[in-house]
Chains A and B, each alone.
Chain A
Amino acid sequence: METITSIKPLLAVLVSLLVTPMLVSSRNPNVREGWTFLAAFIKLAIVASMVPAILQGTEIVYTVAEVFPGVAIKFKVDAFGMLFALVSSTLWIVTTIYSIGYMRGLNEHSQTRYFCFFAIALSATIGVAFSANLLTLYLFYEMLSFATYPLVAHHQDQEARSSGRKYLLYIVGASIGLVLPAMMICYNLTGTLEFSKQGIFTGTEPHATMLVLLLMLVLGFAKAGIMPFHSWLPAAMVAPTPVSALLHAVAVVKVGAFSVLRVLTGVFGIDLLASLNLGTVICYIAAFTVITASLIALSQDGLKRRLAFSTIGQLSYIVLGVALLSPKGVIGGMTHIAMHAFGKITLFFCAGAIFVATGKKNISEMVGIGRRMPVTMVAFFIGSLSVIGLPPTGGFFSKWYLVQGTLQADQWPMLVVLLSSSLLNAAYFFPIVYKAFFCTQEEAMFEDRIEEAPLWCVVPLVITAAGSIALFFYPTLFLKLAELATR
């Protein structure tokens, strides 16, 4: 495994931080949006420029500063981090296009603040993706928590206030209350926090300590939405839809899942977990979340809330995949980060477009909307296919690998969990699409003319829906990265 030193990871993180003063001082909204696009494209360019090296198996490192003996603020770009970074930086561009349409379409206030914190949040996300050790990851994780708070609480009304509180309580409470002590205990035991294939432990530590540490770290990264630390996600739906899209697809929950995966693969290591038989515990916790979340999703009428619970379930798919400790499972879990991102962001864009065009938030009010907004609803259909895991969408591949992973690990209960939750996913997605397109003249709530949301909203969701289909035909990039990560 060759290692190159390059300042590119730091630059990728800093690009959106450095653009923030430009955003604040822009007089003209178009100039401001122009700066955001510029930063997004530069970020994607820097990230993409590192892909060839990663595909050959090299890792890129950069040390910013050593802060404790044996621990530094350090970046390391490896295959897994690259996968996540690619997803985030690509989707940021799309989300920015969408944000413009949404925020201007609704004439929202404080748009500069919105775009600023969005940029900072992306900076933190790439920071997490490229973290070389647990301390750096923790640093950027916290930065993301605090940077997304003003976004979640954007509307500044009572609802936003209580949701903001819940958001902070769960996420910051779990990270300071669980991750920080666990990280310190790890450092005290081993003297290092670097992510590596063999993990940081020597295998001689008492089993109970390992179990407690594992639980503290997995549950402590509450952004991964593992029950019981999931309630912040439905509450955070009070935010504007592009923020929800950011939360669910681009950054926040993916950061949570990514962090948990790093803990499982980099801090403990697949082999140690297998030898201590700790994977099963995590499997069952994740499986519980998958089933419960899918069941709750069935009962939700608010479209965004249903999508929120769907995300909670899907995140635990990712954790479950890795907790199976089999190579196929790990590939499935990692690939699902990418596939789910594209699928979910499409769904959220559709939900937002519906709100902008018609003002409707509840599924029961969306009967017959397919005639009014056909493009949107077709995209919704494609997005839901991806999340359920059916061809011709990219989600099929990740689900396929997950199923194979359960077989490889001889975990039959998990196979049942996966298949039944896919059925549940279908159960809460297909009725929406069906009711949107196929309904009688009396049931239809909308007039029979086509009136989509503004172009700025529709184009992104078409792009991401097309992306979901494209990932079915060209999944190699993400599959290769995931496969490199497991080697």
Chain B
Amino acid sequence: MSQQYPALLVIVPLLSAFAISIAGWVNKRLCFPIIVTALSVVVYASIGLLLTVLEKGVVIYHLGGWPPPVGIAYYVDHLNGLVLVVVASVALLNVIAAKKSIEQEFPDKAGPFYTLYILMVTGLLGIVVTGDAFNLYVLLEIAALTGYGLLAMGEERAPLSTLNYLYMGTIGACFYLLGVGYLYIVTGSLNMVDIARLLPPLYQSRAVLAAFIICMVGVWLKMAFFPLHAWLPNAYTHATSAASSLIAPLVTKVMVYVMIRLILTIFTPEFVFATLALKNVVVWLAVIAIVMGAILALAERNLKRMLTFIIVAEVGYMVGGAWLGNRAGMTGAILHIANDALMTLCVFLVVGNIVYKVKGYAFENLQGLFRKMPFTMGAFVVGAMSIIGVPPTCGFFSKWYLILGALQAGHYGFMAALIFSSLVSVVLFFRIFEICYYEPFSDHHGHDHPPEPMDEAPLTMVVPLLIVAVILILVGLYTVDIVNHIIKFAIPEGLV
């Protein structure tokens, strides 16, 4: 059975989508158990797969038994082994936490929602596990379309925001497809490893350069790399909490994974960093992304929107780190994929809890929350510390590697941008802490201030959140294990 894990990762969610869809018609209460079971199987398979990779090395699975380049191969190495576990766990934790939120906001559409949810997870897992460039496009679009469906289920402005996201997302995917087309013309193959084998004699050709740039732009569009980010704040803010806490942590990170896969596996680091002279330019673009993300976040008076701009800045971290061209920076970028997914999940689950109780996420709604929802806010503090970059949370450790990479590459601008972003995050989050802590104002030392009763979100929403907060600290403390056992092998030896 364990040899079938790569296929199970995609087939189990796909088939359960049908089951959930039918269950949604028959009896809505069945949907939740089915989806939790399916996602648990996926988590189990992904962990098993990662352990197999750690033990035996790269796992290659031929779908249908057809060998590449004829057939589609699933290719699992240390890099996507790690990302698979992250995607699966985030999806599972989120669906447990989202149950109450769905019941509150759109109970009659629970069936379709869960169906789209698990189809989106299928798409994301497929993107990560596949070893075929065109197959990646297909799964990219599966994830995208289901994403549009999920995001559009929200409040009033959701359909328009989603439509704008649809335009940008489709252009991005089409660019990627075009790039793959160029690669197919010059190599005749669609299998990632095969292309990497065939490309080196062609590095000087303009077609390969065009392929790389077009693929990159497409992927940057889909990960909201500044200035191609305009679709993200609206699309994520207006969606429902359950949808945004799945999509926000995962979609942009999976796109970053695709970018790293392009850099490390398909167009090897020799081409990307040595032959092309783009390294510096891209890192400066990343610097701008980080700074603009931070500044735009400052301007927001709305918790959820502020967090979406923080996502834009975090994408800047990862793109910059990957393009520094050294081992430390790439380690930081890969580590940050995992860390950022967890941090973003933490803060978006907090927003979900707040929306469930207070029915709003503007700053005015956040008064007195430290008393009313201490556990949620406690987890929020941990998530905020991670985004700021305070040890021992995981955010500090990926920032460490990114800064180290910047120092080794002599790119002080990137280091300054990272420090600047930490400082701005302190302001961003303490603004919110102040509102939750001080307001509503009491007079005279708060002596005659009756303590507000605790009105915490339900247990199914709080427990996953607390688990994520604890994981943030544990992942931080175990960074060295993750780096030495997994990430070290994900990066080709040539990269120093």
Contacts and interface: CB of A to CB of B under 8 A. Distances in A.
Whether the complex brings A and B within 8 Å at their CB atoms is answered yes
Interface of A: 65-69, 73, 107-110, 135, 138-139, 142, 146, 150, 153, 155-158, 160-161, 164-165, 168, 172-173, 176-177, 180-181, 184-185, 187-188
Contact of A67 (B397, B426, B438): B397
A188 B407 CA distance: 7
Interface in B461-483: 476-480
Given A168-B430, A173-B423, A184-B407, A153 B437 contact: yes
A69 B484 CA distance: 9
Indicate the member of A67, A108, A110 with the most B CB atoms within 10 Å.
A67
Nearest to A145: B390
A81 to B, nearest CB: 19
Given A138-B391, A188-B404, A68 B442 contact: no
B128 interface: no
Contact of A142 (B390, B451, B479): B390
A176 B480 contact: no
A142 B391 contact: yes
A168 to B, nearest CB: 6
A181 B446 CA distance: 40
A156 B446 contact: yes
Nearest to A184: B403
Interface in B380-405: 385, 388-392, 397, 400, 403-404
B392 A176 contact: no
B191 interface: no
A109 B446 contact: yes
A158 B441 contact: yes
Given A176-B426, A188-B407, A157 B480 contact: no
A484 B189 CA distance: 71
A139 B391 contact: yes
B237 to A, nearest CB: 27
Contacts of A142: 390-391
A172 B407 CA distance: 22
Q: Main SS of the interface on chain B? A: helix
Interface size class of B (residues with CB under 8 A): 35 or more
Interface of B: 385, 388-392, 397, 400, 403-404, 407-408, 415, 419, 422-423, 426, 430, 434, 437-438, 441-447, 449, 451, 476-480
Contacts of B477: 65, 67, 73
Contact of A188 (B408, B419, B437): B408
B480 A109 contact: no
A110 B423 contact: no
A135 B403 CA distance: 15
Contacts of B443: 157
A180 B422 CA distance: 11
A460 B391 CA distance: 36
A114 B403 CA distance: 36
B426 A173 contact: yes
Nearest to B412: A181
A177 B423 CA distance: 7
A188 B405 CA distance: 9
B437 A157 contact: no
Given A155-B446, A188-B404, 15 more contacts: A65-B477, A73-B477, A108-B447, A109-B446, A109-B449, A139-B392, A153-B437, A156-B449, A158-B441, A161-B434, A176-B422, A177-B419, A180-B403, A184-B400, A184-B404
A43 B212 CA distance: 61
Contact of B419 (A138, A150, A160, A180): A180
17 contacts: A67-B479, A107-B447, A108-B445, A109-B449, A135-B391, A153-B438, A156-B449, A157-B443, A157-B445, A158-B441, A165-B434, A168-B426, A173-B423, A177-B419, A180-B403, A181-B419, A187-B404
Contact of B426 (A110, A155, A156, A172): A172
A144 to B, nearest CB: 12
Nearest to A240: B445
A123 to B, nearest CB: 13
A246 B224 CA distance: 47
A185 B407 contact: yes
A370 B281 CA distance: 71
A160 B438 contact: yes
B419 A176 contact: yes
Nearest to B476: A67
A344 to B, nearest CB: 24
Contacts of A173: 423, 426
B415 A181 contact: yes
Contacts of A185: 407
Given A66-B480, A176-B422, A185-B407, A156 B447 contact: no
Given A67-B480, A142-B391, A172-B426, A110 B419 contact: no
Contacts of A156: 437-438, 441-442, 446, 449
B445 A155 contact: yes
B441 A157 contact: yes
A26 B150 CA distance: 45
B178 to A, nearest CB: 40
A109 B447 contact: yes
A138 B396 CA distance: 11
Closest 8 CB pairs of A and B: A139-B391, A188-B407, A184-B403, A156-B446, A155-B445, A109-B446, A176-B422, A142-B390
Contacts of A181: 403, 415, 419
A109 B445 contact: yes
A188 B392 CA distance: 20
Nearest to A65: B477
Nearest to B385: A146
B446 A110 contact: yes
A188 B479 CA distance: 18
B117 to A, nearest CB: 36
